[in-house]
Amino acid sequence: MNAAREPQAAAGEPLIRMRNLRKVYRKRDEEFLAVSDVTMDIFPGDMVSLVGPSGCGKTTLLKILSGLQSHDGGTLEVGGGNFNPGRDVGMVFQQPLLLKWRTILENVLLPADILHLDRRQATQRAHELLEMVGLAGFDNKYPYELSGGMQQRAAIARALIHSPKLVLMDEPFGALDALTREKMNLEMLRIWAESRTTFVVVTHSIHEAVFLGSRCAVLTAGPARMADCFPIELEEPRKLHVKTSPEFGEYVRRIYELLGVE
Ligand SMILES: Nc1ncnc2c1ncn2[C@@H]1O[C@H](COP(=O)(O)OP(=O)(O)OP(=O)(O)O)[C@@H](O)[C@H]1O
């Protein structure tokens, strides 16, 4: 195990504790059970990959964790009661959603501006983050001057600017081509290791879930139910060649089985 994985190994109390979480969407007299029963612990420093078929409630679960949605049943404890979603969560979506009239630096600073953080300190941190995500020197460029992968790295820097305790990513690489996606997976692991923050990443890709996750939560469809949540113990630091190892194949097979697509 490398140093990046130590925090979760040493962690005692979970950052997030979900027990039998349930979510019903209601519209007039119609009800739709989107999440029926999710039980899971997420520890500080974890990189949890959340995988499952389309419509199984992954985004709904992220929205509940981010405080954007309430839940209807079960219990959710985040940060031992000392947690403010507005302050302690960073979000990354499938599209970078950068503001086209702001430079990359100003885009990264957006959450700091909204939270009224000290501008000088935030600017210094933004420069550090841009370096960390491989965008040093791009501070004064505008989004249209960057490739899709570079824009997504800027979006990751933006999600980290206020040093959140939890970063939620919803299909962050879904819009990228296959090769860029592979590179971003490697970047992601490096950023996670350097930031030492807790990440939850939703993905449709079983291979991506195995490659990224220190733990993998598998949800089954209609409505979302936790099929399993298990640690992923692969050679560290993870390099692309691990994808050809028998252990990697075993994890992939396990997820296929859980999803009933053998
Ligand atoms: N605001 C809403 N009102 C009613 N139903 C909703 C709402 N948001 C989501 N749903 C339904 O809840 C279910 C779960 O949706 P959710 O977006 O969480 O799934 P998902 O696993 O993220 O899907 P995908 O992988 O396709 O993005 C879907 O059947 C969806 O139609």
| Domain ranges for the chain | 1-83+166-180+193-262, 98-164
pLDDT band, residue 7 (cuts 50/70/90): very low
> Which protein residue's CA is at the shortest distance from atom 5 of ligand 1?
25
Which of the listed ranges 25-29, 140-144, 190-194, 239-243 does the model predict with the highest average pLDDT? 140-144
Lowest mean pLDDT among 62-71, 96-105, 188-197, 212-221: 188-197
Q: Is 32 in the pocket of ligand 1 (CB under 6 A)?
A: yes
pTM of the entire predicted model:
0.90
- Residue of the CA atom closest to atom 25 of ligand 1: 54
Average pLDDT of the chain is 89
Q: What is the CATH number of domain 1-83+166-180+193-262?
A: 3.40.50.300
User: Ligand 1 centre and the CA of 9: distance in Å?
Assistant: 33
Predicted confidence (pLDDT) at residue 120 exceeds the cutoff of 70: yes
Ligand 1 proximity of 223 Cβ (cutoff 6 Å): no
Quick one: average pLDDT of 62-84? 88
User: What is the rounded CA–CA span in Å between residue 132 and residue 87?
Assistant: 22
> What local confidence, expressed as pLDDT, does residue 86 receive?
84
Ligand 1 pocket check: which of 36, 60, 206 to mutate, most ligand atoms within 8 Å of Cβ? 60
> Long-range pairs for 106-112 at CB < 8 Å and ≥24 separation?
107/143, 107/154, 107/158, 108/154, 108/157, 108/158, 108/161, 109/161, 110/158, 110/161, 111/158, 111/159, 111/161, 111/162, 112/161, 112/162
Please work out whether the CB of residue 60 comes within 6 Å of at least one atom of ligand 1: yes
For ligand 1, pick from 30, 36, 58 the residue to mutate: most ligand atoms within 8 Å of CB: 58
